[in-house]
Amino acid sequence: MSNLLSKIFWNAEEDRLRAPVRLVCQLGVTIACVFASILGIGLSLSYGRGHGLLSTVNKQTFDQIGNMIVAPIAAAVIYLSLRIGSRKIERRDFSVYGASLSLTWAKQFLMGFVLSAALMTFIFAVEYFAGWIRIEGHFGVTQPGNILSISLLYSLVKVVIVGICEELVFRGLVLRSFAEGFSGLGDLGTTTSKALALLLSAFLFGIVHLTNPNSGLASTAGIFFIGIFFGLGYLGTGKLAVPMGLHMAWNLFQGTVYGFPVSGDKEPASFLLTRQMGPGLATGGGFGPEAGLIGMLAAILGVFALLLYLQKRAVT
């Protein structure tokens, strides 16, 4: 019995835990570390709020400042937990995540950023010319009591932190672990293993976003397509540059530039103050473009654009 359990959990050939076990262990450690850090910082901020620090700041601004403090620390905790886990749990160098910076990495990041910016502009243009968007102002806050400069800074910090953290976890850890796990089954080829890993990781990406406001079946389907889109950029290059660029630009142009909800959350300030009036099936309604047919079409177009980019990259 002990030998059977050992074979199930331990890869004797690689002298380490098997891929699914490594993934569960790493996710458990990362979540525990992030939860503990956020809890500690949250208690500290609450104490400061109750003892005169920032007592003159309204709740919205205080929450934004608090989140701008919490988010970078949580990102650092995620990074360190993954970096340590790569050594202690996966027994390999952290470079396997594809996060090592270089000139090539920067070029790939820029390509992903420009592609997502173009796709979100396409979504906005389609809805605007269809009469489903009304522009009600420019460069302003979306809620009374918000301070424009702090709200914009908060949105920018969130764009960067979410883009880094979600790509490290969902693509660098989850997608890669699934691909390695499927490839270890023996009968599956590399292409099939990657395809299954991409589908499963995108499905989990969609399920996790069910906790967001205004989520539902349509939003889950839309986020699934986004997971395919971002994941393809990772599998095709072996680096997080493309998906991080895609992710950051997608959220930035969606919320801070064009004023759409970002996965159910309305940004506190944006360059365009817009109101959506079109059918929710097409626009995504309160969740944002990912839950609408136009957003899903944009993600599919992004997949084809990435395939062309990867094909050209392979030739050159």
Q: What is the mean pLDDT of residues 120-125?
A: 98
- Distance of alpha carbon 263 from alpha carbon 222, whole angstroms: 10
pLDDT band at 48; cut points 50, 70, 90: low
pLDDT of residue 296: 97
Q: What is the mean pLDDT of residues 43-69?
A: 68
Q: Do 40 and 56 reside in the same domain of the chain?
A: yes
DSSP state of 168: I
Residue 256 corresponds to which tokens in the numbers above?
């801070």
pLDDT of residue 2: 53
Partners of residue 273 on adjacent β-strands = 137
- Distance of alpha carbon 181 from alpha carbon 102, whole angstroms: 28
Instruction: Write down which residue in 63, 92, 121 finishes a domain.
Output: 92
Q: Do 37 and 150 reside in the same domain of the chain?
A: no
Q: What is the mean pLDDT of residues 104-109?
A: 95
AA letter at 122: F
**Is 16 strand, coil or helix?**
strand
pLDDT of residue 134: 93
Q: Do 52 and 73 reside in the same domain of the chain?
A: yes
Instruction: Write down which residue in 92, 111, 141 finishes a domain.
Output: 92
What's the Cα-to-Cα distance from 250 to each of 43, 65, 84, 120, rounded to whole Å? 32, 23, 30, 6
Which residue in the block uniquely carries the two structure tokens 């949580």?
74
Q: Do 163 and 264 reside in the same domain of the chain?
A: yes
Q: Are the beta carbons of 198 and 231 closer than 8 angstroms? A: yes
The C-alpha angle 108, 293, 166, rounded to 5 degrees, equals: 40
- Distance of alpha carbon 23 from alpha carbon 142, whole angstroms: 40
- Distance of alpha carbon 182 from alpha carbon 195, whole angstroms: 10
Phi, psi of 273 (to 5 degrees): -95, 110
pLDDT of residue 191: 82
Instruction: Write down which residue in 92, 127, 152 finishes a domain.
Output: 92
- Distance of alpha carbon 37 from alpha carbon 292, whole angstroms: 36
pLDDT of residue 187: 59
**Is 277 strand, coil or helix?**
coil
Q: Do 79 and 113 reside in the same domain of the chain?
A: no
Model confidence pLDDT, tens digit, residues 139-154: 888 888 788 999 999 9
Q: Do 228 and 306 reside in the same domain of the chain?
A: yes
Sort 158 into a burial class: Cβ within 10 Å, 0-12 / 13-18 / 19+. buried
**Residue 124 CB contacts under 8 Å (≥ 6 apart), including other chains:** 133, 258, 260
Split into its structural domains, the chain has a count of: 2
pLDDT at residue 45 tops 70: no
- Distance of alpha carbon 228 from alpha carbon 235, whole angstroms: 10
Q: Do 168 and 195 reside in the same domain of the chain?
A: yes
pLDDT at residue 53 tops 60: no
pLDDT of residue 193: 87
Domain that holds residue 82: 1-92
- Distance of alpha carbon 231 from alpha carbon 235, whole angstroms: 6
pLDDT at residue 112 tops 60: yes
pLDDT band at 252; cut points 50, 70, 90: very high
Q: Do 108 and 67 reside in the same domain of the chain?
A: no
Q: What is the mean pLDDT of residues 174-186?
A: 81
